[in-house]
């Protein structure tokens, strides 16, 4: 029997980022692979964007507070597909950006994120010069619906996360600790 991902032809196992990785290897002495940035990032969380998703005081500000004072490269994602056979979630990237992620993402939620669409954010801390480089390389290689300027890439950028990363994310404990809610067990 074919796995669902084969059947439906969406990237599930080992997504490829060949153009991005080739370019970064040519131009940087210690390049990060796209896989490190989109699938293995230190921060990866679903961020509540609408009142319906907010439980207690768990609004987007608390989810972003764990990133306060940091700066680097971030991506905003939506659900694209899931594969039952491999228990993975394929994500489609809508935006790439750099800077202080807590302020920037909060502003995107206000100004450009579509109503009713679940938002997931990934973030990798790095200095501004490198963040600029990776942001531009992503824009040159891929197409992002919410990046209006200087986006010459044409292909979609997908990430593939396991269920833990998708459902719990990387910072649930920190978010929970900042919240008045005792624990996520209350959900
Ligand atoms: Zn699969």
Question: What is the per-residue pLDDT across 79-130, written as a single tens digit (0 to 9) for each?
Answer: 999 998 899 999 999 999 999 999 999 999 989 999 889 999 999 999 999 9
Distance (Å, whole) CA 36 – CA 44: 12
Q: Give the pLDDT confidence score for residue 73 in this predicted structure.
A: 98
Ligand 1 centroid–CA 156 distance in Å is: 18
Q: Give the confidence band of 56 by pLDDT, cuts at 50, 70, 90.
A: low
Ligand 1 centroid–CA 86 distance in Å is: 5
Average pLDDT over residues 43-66: 79
**Could you tell me which of 67, 66, 63 has the C-alpha nearest to residue 46?**
63
Ligand 1 centroid–CA 166 distance in Å is: 15
Residue 37: phi and psi, rounded to 5, are -80, -35
Instruction: Tell me the per-residue pLDDT of 22-47, one tens digit each, with 9 for 90 and over.
Output: 999 999 999 999 999 999 999 999 99
Q: Give the pLDDT confidence score for residue 52 in this predicted structure.
A: 58
Residue ranges per structural domain of the chain: 30-172
For the record, the structure tokens of 4 come out as: 């669902």
Asked whether the whole model's pTM tops 0.85, one would answer: yes
Ligand 1 centroid–CA 69 distance in Å is: 37
Distance (Å, whole) CA 54 – CA 45: 14
Q: Give the pLDDT confidence score for residue 47 in this predicted structure.
A: 93
């Amino acid at each position: 029997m074919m796995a669902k991902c084969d059947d439906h032809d969406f990237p599930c196992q080992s997504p490829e980022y060949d153009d991005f990785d080739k370019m970064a290897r040519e131009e940087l002495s210690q390049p990060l692979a796209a896989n490190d940035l989109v699938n293995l990032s230190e921060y990866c969380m679903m961020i509540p964007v609408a009142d319906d998703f907010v439980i207690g005081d768990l609004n987007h500000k608390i989810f972003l507070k764990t990133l306060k004072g940091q700066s680097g490269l971030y991506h905003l994602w939506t659900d694209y597909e899931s594969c039952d056979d491999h228990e993975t979630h394929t994500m489609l990237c809508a935006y790439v950006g750099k800077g202080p992620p807590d302020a920037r993402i909060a502003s995107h939620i206000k100004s450009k994120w579509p109503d009713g669409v679940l938002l997931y954010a990934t973030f990798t801390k790095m200095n501004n010069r490198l963040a600029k480089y990776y942001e531009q390389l992503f824009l040159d290689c891929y197409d992002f619906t919410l990046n209006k300027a200087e986006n010459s890439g044409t292909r979609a950028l997908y990430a593939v996360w396991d269920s833990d990363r998708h459902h719990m994310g990387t910072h649930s404990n920190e978010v929970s600790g900042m919240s008045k809610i005792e624990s996520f067990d209350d959900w």
